[in-house]
Structure 1
Amino acid sequence: MRIGVHPNNLHLRLARVWPGAFAGLDPIFVPYGEGRDTASLLESGAIHFGGTGSTPPIEADARGLHIEYVAASAPRPANGAIFVRADSDIGSVADLAGRKISLIDGSFHTYLLARSLEGEDLALGDVERIESGTRDSLTELLEGRVDAWVAMSPRLEKAIGRPDLRLIVRCGATIPNRSLFWSLARIGLSPSEIAGIASELARVGGQIAADPVRAAHLLAENDHSGTDAEAWERVVRSRDLSVVPIDGAVLAEQQEEADTLFRHGHFDRTVAIGGPLEATE
């Protein structure tokens, strides 16, 4: 089983170094740069499944790739937020209109921003989305090159409490922010393989939650960003690492996100989760 692992999926990142993880599936862990690459790696056969935020599988379904959902994490309300500078004249989401927002576009950042804006009768088109890419978003915010920053773990934990930053939105009040583990129908995972993956994700998650200190040290030993074990321990302890099989409630959340992003013009057609694309008029 070729398992895709990118730095922002903490569950699979830890599974790669956790003793015995996925042993029954003869695992080959395939590292790659970021969650938005998951669909292309699945499409090429380089991996058999991966884990991302909620948005990349919807992006893949929008391309007609026919997603096979495998499992879902618990909601992760602490893993995303929008910050501005402490001295900014932006007091709330309503003040983001016309401003530059740094984010990883096409990730859950886009959905968090869209739902936050909707609460103020704004849309994605009312702000300027700046792709963060490999740039240092925090530096760009502090130097005034962007007006707000959509952040996630582990940088989020370092940002909270900084005197030069102010938090205006937290994920938990806006979106479920689950991790989704998924494949493509063309890969042909069997029902027993899907059940086995979901079961192993849940087992490993339980072991990690029971030993956050060990998990934090494993992350720090394999981290090139300079995040230390103490910071990683805060991240691990903040997560509900339980994993559940896909059910109707999770698919309904995905459909709600797809519909929201269509309303905001992120997609040029509706996306039916678990079904074909609907034609535009």
Structure 2
Amino acid sequence: MTEFKNKLLTRRRALAMLSAAAAGAVTTLVPQCAWAQDQRVLRIGYQKAASTLVLLKAHGTLERHLARLGIEVKWAEFSAGPQLLEALNVGSVDFGYVGEAPPIIAQAAGANFVYSGYEIPTPLAESILVPQHSPIHTVAELRGKKIAFNKGSDVHWLVISLLKKANISYSEFQPIYLAPADARAAFERGAVDAWAIWDPFQTAAIKQLNARVLASGAGVVSHHQFFLSARPYAEKNPAIISAILDEVGKEGQWIRANVKEASVQLAPIQGLDKDVIEIGLKNYAHIYKPIDNKVLEEQQKIADTFFELKLIPRRISTRDAVLAAPAAKV
């Protein structure tokens, strides 16, 4: 009985952490239990910064592809990865796109998902920024400083990795956990010393706030992006998951061949200048691959580090979050 209570307490703590990270999610979906939704509806969670999914939604190609199978696609927007993973965890989303760290937090919280695909490394698409005239010029000078970032997001791992490389432990700086919009406001008014953020918000801050890149992820982190599926949905609908990934791949190809046009189309959706978006787009690869052992090993490194830092309550194996067989194609 004691062992059962300990396991229950561990799960509750992990869920509390994930729920805390989910504050401010931009979604109108109501949580549903045990994926009891109509199997004819595919629910996709996306972030406004995730250009490939945003354009896939705008172009309607996935809807047209799946309509012949009688499947309706519904989209829900989230402010960041942790918020999206909370929705997947409670069964409100079937498929989504997030960074490196959110799946680790979610898996430790007991979220029942699987890795379905990933984007090849894009380390220049995230960085730690400082004000242009800040006296801070090296990562080593962040010891004791206030760094704003979204808790449990991919830049959480960036901060840990960059500071570790500079021999700064996690207890030797002040993490200020803020969602992107709030972090930008804090950065702009000088309430924090630095801000860890991803594109297109990174490029927007550089262009609009004259922010300076202190250090990017280059040579330190891979900054993979992942497509995740709710395990029950992926097990029952492998052909649909495969169809999504096929369409995502085609959309990525279109973006790479039409960066300027993609920027023009994204500008009114993301609320940013097209020149800012164009630079941000070039920092991503828009090339997606099936999950493989190498990327799972990199995720395992993040998971082990998060456990050592007590950012997750239990050890996990990232290999537990994959399906045994590859998906079929529609």
- TM-score scaled by length of structure 1: 0.88
Change over 3 Å in CA distance of 1:126–1:5 after alignment to 2: same
How far off its partner does 1:139 sit? 4.2
Pairs aligned (count): 274
Amino acid at match of 2:261: R
2: CA distance between counterparts of 1:214 and 1:271?
Answer: 42
1:98 to 131, 136, 144: 144
Is this contact kept in 2: 1:45–1:187, CA < 8 A?
A: no
2:261 to 206, 214, 224: 214
1:123 to 169, 184, 193: 169
Identify the residue that residue 309 of structure 2 maps to in structure 1: 264
Change over 3 Å in CA distance of 1:3–1:163 after alignment to 2: closer
Deviating more after overlay: 187-196 vs 66-75: 187-196
2: CA distance between counterparts of 1:163 and 1:31?
Answer: 26
- CA deviations on 1:183-233 (whole Å, 9 max, x unpaired) are 23233444333332222211111112212222112211223x4x1222212
Which structure has the larger Rg? 2
Identify the residue that residue 59 of structure 2 maps to in structure 1: 18
Change over 3 Å in CA distance of 1:239–1:162 after alignment to 2: same
Is this contact kept in 2: 1:101–1:129, CA < 8 A?
A: yes
- In the alignment, structure 2 segments of 5+ residues that lack a partner are 1-41, 322-330
Change over 3 Å in CA distance of 1:134–1:211 after alignment to 2: closer
Q: Does 1:84 align with 2:125?
A: no
Equivalent positions of 1:181-196 (< 5 A) are: 181-189=227-235, 190-196=237-243
Identify the residue that residue 158 of structure 2 maps to in structure 1: 112
Deviating more after overlay: 103-112 vs 234-243: 234-243
Change over 3 Å in CA distance of 1:73–1:22 after alignment to 2: farther
2:320 to 264, 275, 281: 275
Identify the residue that residue 289 of structure 2 maps to in structure 1: 244
2: CA distance between counterparts of 1:145 and 1:179?
Answer: 30
Change over 3 Å in CA distance of 1:187–1:21 after alignment to 2: closer
Amino acid at match of 1:194: I
Q: Does 1:153 align with 2:199?
A: yes
Identify the residue that residue 231 of structure 1 maps to in structure 2: 276
Deviating more after overlay: 168-177 vs 30-39: 30-39
- CA deviations on 1:107-159 (whole Å, 9 max, x unpaired) are 01110000011112222222111122365434423433111111221121133
Change over 3 Å in CA distance of 1:248–1:143 after alignment to 2: same
Q: Does 1:31 align with 2:77?
A: yes
Change over 3 Å in CA distance of 1:15–1:121 after alignment to 2: same
Change over 3 Å in CA distance of 1:119–1:210 after alignment to 2: same
1:8 to 38, 49, 57: 49
Change over 3 Å in CA distance of 1:170–1:10 after alignment to 2: same
Q: Does 1:166 align with 2:202?
A: no
2: CA distance between counterparts of 1:6 and 1:76?
Answer: 17
- In the alignment, structure 1 segments of 5+ residues that lack a partner are 277-281
Change over 3 Å in CA distance of 1:140–1:45 after alignment to 2: closer
2:187 to 119, 137, 141: 141
Deviating more after overlay: 241-250 vs 117-126: 117-126
SS in 2 for 1:160: helix
How far off its partner does 1:265 sit? 2.7
Amino acid at match of 1:159: A
Change over 3 Å in CA distance of 1:32–1:160 after alignment to 2: closer
Amino acid at match of 1:131: Y
2:109 to 63, 67, 70: 63
Amino acid at match of 1:213: K
1: CA distance between counterparts of 2:301 and 2:64?
Answer: 36
1: CA distance between counterparts of 2:248 and 2:180?
Answer: 29
2: CA distance between counterparts of 1:37 and 1:166?
Answer: 28
Percent of residue pairs bearing the same amino acid type? 27
Is this contact kept in 1: 2:89–2:112, CA < 8 A?
A: no
